[in-house]
Chain A
Amino acid sequence: MFIIKLLIRNAFRHKLRTGLTIVGVAIAIVAFGLLRTLVDLWYAGVEASSASRLITRNSISLVFPLPISYKDRIRQVPGVRDVSWGNWFGGIYKEEKNFFPSFAVEPRSFLAMYPEYRVDPVELKSFLLDRKGAMVGAKTAERFGWKVGDQVMLRGTIFPGQWEFVIRGIYHGAAKSTDETQFFFHWDYLNEVMRRTVPRRADQAGYYIIELKKPDQAAEVSLAVDATFRNSLAETLTETERAFQMSFVSMTEAIVIAIQIVSYVVIVIIMVVAANTMAMTARERIPEYATLKTLGFGGLHIAGVIFGESLVIAMAGGVTGVILTFPAARWIETELSQFFPVFTVAPSTICMDLAAAFIVGAVAGIFPTWRGVTIRIAEGLRRVG
C-alpha cells in the first residue's frame, strides 16, 4: 500500500511536468485508437461478408457486365440455393460530394439473402410493389432528410440520364457494423429504361450473388460456375464475398499500411517524450535514491519506485486517452459521416491502447531505472542536482 502511495506522490511532485506528460500520452493514445479504428473500418466490408455467399463477375474486370441469361444456368449448378443479381449504379444526388453507394438489385432474392438489412414489413411490401421504389439505409436517409414517400432524383454516371425514385423503405442494420448508407432499387426499372434508350446495354447484370446450400461447398461451386462459362463470350470469376471485398481492400493496401505505420510512429514519438521526462526526473532525484540506499533499501526497491512512477504516469495518460477516444469517435461519426458511416471503437482497440500505454511507461522507465539502481551511494550523495 505504502509503495503505491509513494509512487503516486512521486509522480505528482512535479505537477506541471507530469501533467504535460500525461496530456502527451493521452493525445498519442487517442490518435493511436482512432488510426486503429480507421484500419479496422477499411476491413469492415470484409468482416461483414458472409461465408455462405459467392459473387460472380466478369473475369476481365468488374466494369464488364454479364448476360442476364446466366442466372438460370447458375441456378442449375449443384450446391446453389438461390441467385440474385445487380448492377453498381453510381448515381449522384445533386452534387458529387453527396456520395453514397447505389445499386440496382433484384429485390426479392437480394433481401432474402441479406438478412442484415432489416426493413419494416409494410415498407418492404410497398417497396417490392413499386417499380420505381427505392430502399435506403437509415444513415443516408437521415443525412438528406428523406422520409418514406419522398421523391428522389439521381443523376446516372454509368447509366446516363436523370432517374426518378420514390423512397419506399428505410432499412436498419442488424449489427452496429452494418453499412446503413446504401441505396437499392429495382433492377427491372434500370433494365426497362436501358432497353428503351441504349438497347445494347440492356439485359445485363454487373454481378451475380450466389447463396450456397452449405458454406463449405464454396470452392466446388465457384469452380463449377466458372467452368460453365469457360470459353464463352463473357467468362466469369466466382469468389466468396469475403475474397471479393478483400480484392478492393488489397488494392488500397498501400494506404492501410501507411496508416498502420503511422499509428506505431505515434507511440514511438510519445515514448521519446515520456523517456525524456523520466530521465529528467531520475537525474534530479539521484541524491534521494542514494539516501534510500543508505537507509538500507535494496536495488529492487529503488527500481520499483522509478519504474512504477513511469508506469503510473503512462497509465494515467493511457486511461485519459481511452476515455477521450469515445467522444472523438462520436464526433467523427457525426461530422464526417459521408466518409465514415460507422466509426465504432472495437474492444480490441481499447486493449491495444492500454497495452501501448503500458509499453510507453515500461520503455521510458528502463534507462532511468538502470541509472538509479547502479548508482553508487557515495557518488549519488556527492551529486548536486
Chain B
Amino acid sequence: MMHRSEKAIPVLMILPSLAAIAIFVYGFISWTGYVSFTDWNTLVRSSHFVGFANYRFLFQDFRFQSDLRNTLAFTVLFIGLTMLCGLFLAKMVDSKIKGEAFFRNVFIFPMALSFIVTGVVWQWVLNPTTGVNLALKSLGISHPPKWYTSISIVPKLHLGAIDFGLPVAVIAVVLAAVWQMSGFAMAMYLAGLRSIPDDLREAARIDGAAEKQIFRKVILPQLKPISMSLIIILAHISLKIFDLIYAMTGPGAMFVTDVPGVYMFETTFRGNHYAQGSGIAMIMLLLVSLLIVPYLISSFRKERG
C-alpha cells in the first residue's frame, strides 16, 4: 500500500507540468504548423487548406532568401568568434593572474544585459557618423567603415534572387552578439579547465611536452564536451535571434541584416499574414531541430551505452 502511493506521488507531481508542456509547447507548435498550411493571411481566421503554398512563397521570396543567407553568416561567425574569445579569456583568467575574480566578473557582466540593451548600445557605438567613427576620423581615417549600414556583400555570388556571400553589415551585429556571449563561453571553459586534474599536465611535462603541445593534445580534447554544449546553446540563440537585430539595425538596406525572427514578427503582427508568419516560425523550428536532434540522439545513446 504504502509502496505504491510512494511511487505515484512523483508521477502526480510532474503531471501538471507535463500537461502544461503538452498544451503550451507541443499543442501550440502543432497549431502553428496547422496555420502555416492555411490561407489565414488577413484578420479573419481562415482554415482553408492550401498545402505548401506559404512555404513555396517564402522560398521564392527575396527577403526570406536573404534571411537564410544572413542567418548562416551570423551563425558561423557568432559561434566561432564567441568560442574563440571565450577560450582565450578563460585561458587568461586561468593563468593565475592578479585580481582573477575581478576579471571574471567583468567578462561575464554583459550576460546580465538583455539583447535589447546590447542592441541599443552597439547601435550607438557603431553608428557610422556619431559612434566609434568619430574617433577614427579624428585619427585621420577619412573613410571609416560603414558598420551596419554597409550594403556590400562579399564575395557576392549571384544565387537565386539574392547575392550570396557574407553581408558586411552582419559583422557589426556579430560583434555585439559576441561581446554579449563570450563571457558565458569563458565561464563554461573556465569550469572545464579547472576540472582537468593538474596531474595530467604534470605527466605531460615530465614526458617532455611543450606548453603548446599540452594545450593542444591534453587540454583541448578534455574540453570537447563543453565545446559541444556551447555550440548547441549558441546555435539555438543565433537561429532564433530577434531582439538584438530588431533593436540594432532592423532589416537593413536590401535586407542585409534581416533574420527570420524579424521577418516573422513583421509578417505576422504588422501585415496580419498569420499563415505566412507561421510558415517562417515552422522553418525556424526546423532549423533549430536540425541541430538539436542529432545532439539529443547522441547523448541518449551515450547514456544507454
Partners in one complex: no
Residues of chain B touching chain A, judged by Cβ–Cβ distance below 8 Å, are none
Residue positions of A touching B, CB distance < 8 A: none
